[in-house]
Structure 1
């Protein structure tokens, strides 16, 4: 299916006066991120964007009306398959390649196909997905295809040693691949403090270091981990850990890593404060030092993003619930240009600021 995409509004940050430029900036700049859904014939969320063979591919989850009451565990997000989107040009036609993977085709499936990601190696394409198993425990699975749009054939078992949700696979400049993952509340990461599964939710005290996202280097086969997953340290600028009670900055879900001017940018959602924020570091394993907000809150409870460079420009991919009138489980993928300040900091995006 081919559709016409809505051109994301792009705006340069307004020029400041000579006097303002000479003075220290005490507030971050904010730019317009006003954009329309990339597609409207289905609801899509949690976009992971990649450029393969010069074409932009977006791997979102596929929202449906489940009829399940909303709760903090996320049971109302009862997604059952994936549709992959692609385009040749920003603002051009968007192709929906149809169902790439369905929950009914995954042997170990229980329920809830949540936010996926994809990677390419040696001409093979890998789709990574979180899914509750038959015991209602989130694991991360892998599926393989000869083409970036699929369809994908799932492995018969989840990745050994995987848990929680929101896999994001980053390829470093040296050719190594790393999976970042994790999410609290419904994502169950809080059940793995100490490295083993606890069926009860256990959170640190508010004045203790927050639950940490995870990282694991991928094995050569891209279907398994080369190591036991490790915790990632998220730090304040004074070197102290981000605390569990710091809801404006602590990790909630939706890890993503990209590299800019030699720095690793670890971005994520703060969940119940509804922001996309970021931290930077010099190593794919971290530690990462908190820097600021990328995207201010959107309509709907959740947000989940990715960042990719396409044809010389950087873009932020995210979702909101504006198309469904604010129904938090019926979301739509959007994209807007992402810009950096000269010092490498990211200009904060207001998703509803009108372009001047």
Structure 2
């Protein structure tokens, strides 16, 4: 497969871009990871959707050795990897994890199921890990309206957690095999959301990261939505609302991921950044993320598009 290389520009102090798209191809819903062989970014493929809805049936992979230049690895996986999925099932925001010498890919399929695929390498080839959905709205209790946007955190003690959900945030423990549930699906509670702002509520894009013993739960507040966050001393919560990470973008969705790389913290997000872009043709970008002395996240303010 021919690889496209898109050189990143507008660098800050450190090897990452500021508000520039990582690729000339439309992409969205970033899932970045630091694996032993480099940096890997899994994404939904907006360039292959209809242009009027988020109806792509494949996921795309981008890789980097230096956090500056990202190579397009193509559509490395499609919903067809899951024999139980409808051929036209929508391939929405995924996540990945490494454990037990294997790479696990967690994928919302069709808006009502979450599948898990496994591979020996981060770029695949992946295969269906269990031959059935990991989470199924028709089968499992308390999945919420739409079990989408899975994200996995492996804690310091080895326990893995998966958060997911649309309009209702959910959390569940994963088994040590990473392909089974190790308990019931539970509601993830966020307290202290501003009662005077009806838009401050959970919409989608749940994400948990940990820093200095504190768990940070970030999410989008809706359509359009801000990326806001809350913190807890426990991964299961409850979480207390703290503030805004990223304000409304110029499109109807907002979706984030936060990782440590190159000695600092980075926020991945998507926006309308390429010619012809819009609500259904989005582009992933990266910005540095900073914390205050009290652990509060400083709001990220990307430079406005010219």
> Residues 287 and 5 of structure 1: is their aligned pair in 2 closer, same or farther, counting only changes over 3 Å?
farther
Bigger radius of gyration among the two = 1
Q: Which residue of 2 aligns with 1:39?
A: 23
Q: Which residue of 2 aligns with 1:19?
A: none
Q: Secondary structure at the match of 2:31?
A: strand
Q: Which residue of 1 aligns with 2:221?
A: 270
Q: Which residue of 1 aligns with 2:190?
A: 234
Cα pair 1:170 1:257 within 8 Å, conserved = yes
Of residues 33, 44, 53, the one that matches 1:61 is 44
Question: How is 1:196-215 mapped onto 2 (pairs within 5 angstroms)?
Answer: 212-215=168-171
Q: Which residue of 2 aligns with 1:48?
A: 31
Of residues 52, 65, 77, the one that matches 1:101 is 77
Q: Which residue of 2 aligns with 1:344?
A: 295
Cα pair 2:105 2:118 within 8 Å, conserved = yes
Cα pair 2:224 2:249 within 8 Å, conserved = no
Q: Which residue of 2 aligns with 1:158?
A: 133
In structure 1, distance between residues paired with 2:148 and 2:194: 21
TM-score calculated relative to the size of structure 1: 0.76
In structure 1, distance between residues paired with 2:49 and 2:71: 25
> Residues 66 and 44 of structure 1: is their aligned pair in 2 closer, same or farther, counting only changes over 3 Å?
closer
Q: Secondary structure at the match of 1:89?
A: coil
Question: How is 1:241-320 mapped onto 2 (pairs within 5 angstroms)?
Answer: 246-320=197-271
In structure 2, distance between residues paired with 1:35 and 1:68: 23
1:99 Cα offset (Å)? 2.3
Computed over aligned residues only, the root mean square deviation of the Cα atoms, in angstroms, reads: 2.2
Q: Secondary structure at the match of 1:257?
A: strand
Q: Secondary structure at the match of 1:271?
A: coil
In structure 2, distance between residues paired with 1:7 and 1:342: 30
1:97 Cα offset (Å)? 2.1
> Residues 263 and 108 of structure 1: is their aligned pair in 2 closer, same or farther, counting only changes over 3 Å?
same
Q: Secondary structure at the match of 2:27?
A: strand
Question: How is 1:136-215 mapped onto 2 (pairs within 5 angstroms)?
Answer: 138-155=112-129, 156-160=131-135, 161=140, 164-184=147-167, 212-215=168-171
> Residues 213 and 246 of structure 1: is their aligned pair in 2 closer, same or farther, counting only changes over 3 Å?
farther
> Residues 177 and 68 of structure 1: is their aligned pair in 2 closer, same or farther, counting only changes over 3 Å?
same
Q: Which has the higher contact order (CA 8 A, sep 6+)?
A: 1
Which stretch of the first structure deviates more once superposed, 296-305 or 320-329?
A: 320-329
Runs of 5+ unmatched residues, structure 2: none
1:126 Cα offset (Å)? 0.3
Cα pair 2:18 2:285 within 8 Å, conserved = no
